[in-house]
Amino acid sequence: MSLFQHLSMVKENRSHINQRHDLVDVLFLVLTAVASGNDGWAEIQQFGEFKIDWLRKFRPFKNGIPRRHTIARIMQAVSNDSLQLCLFSWINEIRVQAEQSVIVIDGKTLRGASKRAEQRLHSVAAYDIDNGLALFHEVCPGKTGEIIAVQQLITMLNIEGALLTFALNTQRKTLTDITERKGDYVAQVKLNQRALHDFVVKTFDEAFEDDESLPQFESVNKGHGRVEKRITFHIPANLPPE
104-120 tens-digit pLDDT: 888 777 765 555 555 66
pLDDT: is 212 or 228 the higher one?
A: 228
Residue 31 DSSP SS3? helix
Q: Average pLDDT, stretch 229-233?
A: 85
The top-level CATH class assigned to 80-188 is alpha beta
The strand ranges marked E within the chain are 102-110, 121-128, 133-140, 163-166, 184-187, 216-223, 226-233
What distance, in Å, lies between the first and last C-alpha atoms of the chain? 43
What is the pLDDT, as a whole number, of residue 9? 92
Question: 186 forms bridges with which residues in the sheet?
Answer: 165
Going by pLDDT thresholds of 50, 70 and 90, the confidence category of residue 222 is confident
Contact 92, 157 (CB under 8 A): yes
- Ordered DSSP codes for 37-61: T--SHHHHHHHHHHSHHHHTTT---
Q: Average pLDDT, stretch 70-91?
A: 89
The domain ranges of the chain are 3-78, 80-188, 193-242
Contact 14, 74 (CB under 8 A): yes
- The structure's pTM equals 0.61
Is the pLDDT at 149 greater than 60, yes or no?
yes
- Mean confidence (pLDDT) of the chain: 84
Contact 228, 221 (CB under 8 A): yes
